[in-house]
């Protein structure tokens, strides 16, 4: 219970104490948007690392050198835990927006941070709005902002943590329409932090593996047609390999 209290307190204090900072960054963004964005990014990465430490989570990272540093990418991750975002966002080398569920847009102060970091809010029940989100994400990639998507659409709850739900193929238009590389991001054991025994937070050893970049234009016609299934197959092999790590 102590870890849960400490993690929750850290988030609340961060949101409250940084409210004036948001105003300063908004002013800064008028004249120097890139500087404002990088400060937002580093501040949020810092609090996410603090929360990870408070939760007693050890993180092993594999293949981080696979992430291109000179261009935006589409990160594709599996989704088992509320902690998947803090764990992966703290490792993003540059501006990165996450596609999150629409309910997150209603959380005071947090929504301001998320909007300032190019996060997009998806209504999973509204197909038309979903298409708009994809188009906006494409614009972000073209502007140099990486995007992270959990294409299963919701958190996996199967007892077998390596089991993936079908990927939504529409997600991959972000890459096929821009030519940006896809980075498979396999997250193992993250549900052991909280979901496997909630409401308790317990120490866990999470493994995050970044696969080699996948360039849509280099795929065969068949692979590109079913690119979601192709990427899912690559991620499945990583998850199967890391289940015992």
> Domains in the chain, start-ordered, CATH in brackets?
58-242 (3.40.1130.10)
SS3 65: helix
Mean pLDDT of the chain: 92
Kindly report the pTM of this predicted structure.
0.93
- The per-residue pLDDT for 124 is 73
Q: Where are the alpha helices (DSSP H) in the chain?
A: 2-17, 19-31, 33-54, 84-89, 110-116, 127-142, 173-176, 221-225, 227-242
Task: Place 2 in a pLDDT band, splitting at 50, 70 and 90.
Answer: confident
pLDDT, tens only, 40-71:
999 999 999 999 999 999 999 999 999 998 99
pLDDT tens digits along 131-153: 899 999 999 999 999 999 999 98
In this predicted structure, the answer to whether residue 127 has a pLDDT above a threshold of 80 is no
pLDDT tens, position by position, 152-171? 987 878 788 889 999 988 89
The residues with which 112 forms a beta bridge, in sequence order, are none
At residue 202, the pLDDT reads 94
């Amino acid at each position: 219970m102590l870890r849960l209290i400490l993690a929750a307190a850290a988030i609340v204090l961060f949101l409250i104490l940084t409210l004036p900072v948001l105003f300063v960054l908004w002013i800064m963004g008028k004249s120097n948007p890139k500087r404002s964005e990088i400060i937002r990014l580093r501040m949020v990465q810092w609090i996410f690392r603090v929360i990870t430490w408070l939760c007693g989570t050890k993180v092993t990272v594999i293949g981080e050198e696979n992430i291109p540093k000179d261009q935006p990418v589409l990160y594709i991750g599996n989704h088992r835990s509320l902690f998947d975002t803090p764990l992966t966002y703290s490792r993003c080398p540059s501006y990165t927006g996450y596609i999150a569920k629409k309910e997150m847009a209603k959380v005071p102060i947090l929504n301001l941070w998320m909007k300032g970091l190019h996060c997009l809010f998806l209504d999973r029940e509204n197909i038309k709005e979903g298409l708009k989100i994809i188009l906006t994400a494409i614009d972000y990639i073209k502007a140099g902002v990486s995007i992270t998507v959990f294409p299963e659409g919701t958190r996996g709850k199967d007892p077998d943590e390596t089991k993936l739900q079908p990927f939504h193929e529409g997600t991959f238009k972000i890459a096929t329409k821009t030519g940006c590389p896809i980075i498979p991001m396999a997250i193992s054991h993250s549900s052991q932090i909280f979901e496997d025994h909630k409401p308790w937070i317990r120490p866990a050893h999470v493994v995050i593996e970044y696969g080699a970049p996948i360039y849509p234009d280099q795929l065969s016609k068949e692979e590109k047609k079913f690119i979601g299934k192709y990427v899912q197959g690559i991620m499945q092999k990583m998850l199967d390999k890391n289940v015992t790590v």
